[in-house]
């Protein structure tokens, strides 16, 4: 599987954005001419973007490979529309209440699902933003707390990505309290980045809904599905690190899960080279030829 370098868009690194914009006026969002770090979709590849002369906006994120292009369908340079602008469709709240939601004017997202009593979760008094750690739905603006953080149901990554608020994630099928479903997950590149969401929320790989060639990693209670990056993800056989936009990123195929997922022949593959690659520390490899975990029923 290839991680396609032409299918990303930008996100900001929060700390560096705040530092660069600290001297702006109340009318400005950044300091004119200032360059700040940014990241492409997926949360790994870094670049820079420049604040406009009026301090009201930031330019395109530019990496050593060029700008992070818009997410397209292969026939257009624009972002993928997920609905018909201003269309109203039925929806179901996470507590099973029925309601409706409206497509945005640009066709890229929906409003929150709304019932006769108001938006899903509107009876709650939550103040926490998307991806903030939580223990209950009452803490969240979205009215939904799953996998240890505030989230919402989704149909596309654009519903999980808010550049203005610097909230970065993707839409993935994950275990939920009411069963497996599509939900927004925050990006991660290692287990430490998921630690704030509780012991059961781990960093695991997934395939983007809009592009089968795009892999990313997100925090969730993945359970037995937690095996690291999808098999076939490009990696560096020498260092074992994942390749992202032709750059070596400090994330391993198993993302620190010891899940029998290693880099061999420049791709993430099921197998092991040493005991630390196995959940039960029982690799049968000599360290040079890929082996398998003896406790795995498929090991032979």
| pLDDT level of residue 292 (50, 70, 90 thresholds) | very high
Half-sphere exposure of 197 (CA within 13 A, CB side): 27
| pLDDT level of residue 138 (50, 70, 90 thresholds) | confident
Is residue 131, in this structure, part of any structural domain at all? Answer: yes
Same domain, 109 and 173: yes
Residues 6+ apart with CB under 8 A from 232: 1, 267, 268
8 A C-beta contact, residue 51 and residue 32: yes
Same domain, 93 and 160: yes
Is residue 285, in this structure, part of any structural domain at all? Answer: yes
Same domain, 130 and 171: yes
What are the backbone angles phi and psi of residue 197, rounded to the nearest 5°?
Answer: -95, 10
Q: What is the mean pLDDT of residues 5-24?
A: 33
Same domain, 52 and 21: yes
**221, two tokens:** 């209670």
123/144: higher pLDDT: 144
pLDDT of residue 13: 26
What range does the domain containing 132 cover?
88-184
Q: What is the mean pLDDT of residues 159-174?
A: 86
pLDDT of residue 58: 78
Give per-residue pLDDT as tens, 44-97. Answer: 566 788 888 888 777 878 877 777 754 332 333 344 455 677 888 777 776 677
Angle at Cα 214 formed by Cα 246 and Cα 14, nearest 5°?
A: 75
Same domain, 276 and 242: yes
Same domain, 43 and 97: no
Same domain, 44 and 128: no
Same domain, 172 and 111: yes
Same domain, 180 and 238: no
d(CA 38, CA 47): 5
How many structural domains are present in the chain?
Answer: 3
Is residue 168, in this structure, part of any structural domain at all? Answer: yes
Is residue 37, in this structure, part of any structural domain at all? Answer: yes
Domain end (from 184, 214, 247):
184
Give per-residue pLDDT as tens, 180-210. Answer: 889 999 999 899 999 999 989 999 999 888 8
Is residue 199, in this structure, part of any structural domain at all? Answer: no
Is residue 136, in this structure, part of any structural domain at all? Answer: yes
Same domain, 166 and 237: no
Sign of CA dihedral 83, 42, 165, 145: positive
Is residue 217, in this structure, part of any structural domain at all? Answer: no
Same domain, 165 and 242: no
d(CA 139, CA 94): 15
Is residue 194, in this structure, part of any structural domain at all? Answer: no
């Amino acid at each position: 599987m290839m991680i396609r370098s032409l299918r990303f868009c930008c996100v900001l690194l929060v700390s560096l954005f705040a530092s660069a914009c600290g001297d702006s006026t109340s009318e400005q969002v950044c300091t004119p001419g200032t360059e700040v770090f940014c990241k492409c979709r997926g949360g790994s590849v870094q670049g820079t973007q420049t604040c406009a002369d009026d301090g009201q906006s930031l330019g395109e994120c530019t990496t050593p490979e060029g700008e992070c292009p818009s997410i397209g369908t292969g026939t257009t340079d624009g972002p993928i529309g997920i609905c018909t602008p201003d269309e109203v469709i039925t929806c179901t709240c996470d507590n099973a209440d029925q309601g409706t939601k409206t497509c945005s004017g640009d066709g890229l997202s929906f409003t929150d699902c709304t019932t006769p009593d108001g938006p899903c979760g509107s009876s709650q008094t939550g103040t926490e933003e998307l991806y903030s750690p939580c223990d209950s739905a009452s803490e969240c603006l979205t009215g939904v707390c799953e996998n240890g953080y505030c989230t919402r149901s989704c149909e596309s990554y654009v519903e999980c990505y808010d550049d203005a608020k610097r909230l970065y994630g993707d839409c993935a099928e994950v275990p939920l309290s009411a069963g497996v479903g599509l939900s927004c997950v925050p990006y991660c590149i290692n287990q430490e980045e998921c630690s704030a969401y509780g012991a059961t929320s781990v960093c695991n790989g997934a395939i983007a809904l809009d592009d089968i060639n795009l892999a990313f990693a997100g925090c969730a209670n993945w359970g037995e599905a937690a095996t690291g990056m999808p098999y076939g993800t490009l990696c560096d056989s020498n260092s074992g690190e994942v390749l992202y936009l032709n750059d070596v990123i400090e994330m391993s195929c198993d993302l620190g899960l010891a899940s029998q997922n290693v880099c061999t022949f420049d791709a993430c593959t099921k197998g092991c080279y040493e005991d630390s690659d196995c959940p039960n520390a029982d690799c049968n490899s000599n360290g040079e030829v890929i082996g398998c975990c003896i406790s795995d029923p498929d090991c032979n």
